[in-house]
Structure 1
Amino acid sequence: METAAQPRLPRAERREQIVAAATRAFATEGFAATGLDEIAAEAGISRAILYRHFESKTDLYRAVLDRVCERLGAAVGERPGGFTDAAVDGLIAGAAADPDGFRLLFQHVPREPEFRDFADRFGTGMTAAAHQQIAALVPDPAWARWAAKLAPVVAIEAVIAWLDAGRPDIDAAADRVRGAIGGVVSAAQHRPEPTEA
């Protein structure tokens, strides 16, 4: 807890400290199972100080998700050409820089109806970017749409598995994620051999 011996932080720094602590706390159990007392303890402050910066747990959670989306969006970037190698590199870099935020956005938020729009917006953008690139590689429009919806899911799950494995060899991680996405594209391109009657 904040004591008289601790220096008083400027408002913006204190807010950032609370958001960072809340990200860690929420990433463990999600919104419903995380209490404000846990967040205050994680931040090393009192609940009263927390309420000076955020009106409610919902207000704080939205601030956390805004920050996660902003950082991950900056890492992935708006890149011409779709879901490119650089976008995959950015996705991994964003997850490495904020693993709690990445897990929160893609593991907890999709199961939280009140906040699902955060993950949905990010996923919709990834699907559109993937389709832009995959449509040029997969001639069948239905299979191109299928691959465009599946490729971001595979990428996200591959990055979460990489985080869970202890983040082995970040330089090789992007190649492996791209390989998994390549498997989706290859499956969409596959034309079965005609069977003989």
Structure 2
Amino acid sequence: MRKLLLIFLVGITCTALAQSNDDAVTFERKGFVIGLGAGGGVLNLQTNDTVSTAFSPSLPNLKIGWMINSRLALVVLLPGAVYEYHGSSRGFEGIVAAAQYWVKDKWWVMGGIGLTFDAPAFYTVKDPSDAGFYTGFPALSVATGYEVWRKGHFALDLQYRFFSGKSELSAEVNRNGISNMLLVGFNWY
């Protein structure tokens, strides 16, 4: 019975894929690009000898840029993750100059380098002078995604994003972070 069910599911899937005409319809990407990603994953932070690993939401992951041609975009990416520190929310984020390239019509890869930001979440800041805003270099981001739905100049995609950064808390103290995030992306071209 399991074999028959497996054969049936594979047959239905192959039939559905064979009948789709996605290759006949070209999705045009040109000009200004803006994207917003939301999701979650694992954030690992190391501050000198202290290591913490926890689930982390990631909202928003913003990208803004320009299509150089139909397959290549240069973007400014704001990846990041939220974590709890002494009872309040902080963001381990970055500002990254990146290139996004469509390997296939719906599958893309992205990579870039920039600065790391470790700061309180904007909704927790009461006194900016006491906020504890830290920066560092480098911030590295690598991502891949697959567009699952497109209409007009809009594309919905599923993404995996790796982000690594280092912020200087003081002359002797650094915070290194690595996040692995699964995101849903909302993109306009």
Please tell me the TM-score bracket, short chain as reference: under 0.3
| More contact order relative to length (CA 8 Å, sep ≥ 6) | 2
Q: TM-score, normalised by structure 2?
A: 0.25
Bigger proportion of residues as strand:
2
Q: TM-score, normalised by structure 1?
A: 0.24
Bigger proportion of residues as helix:
1
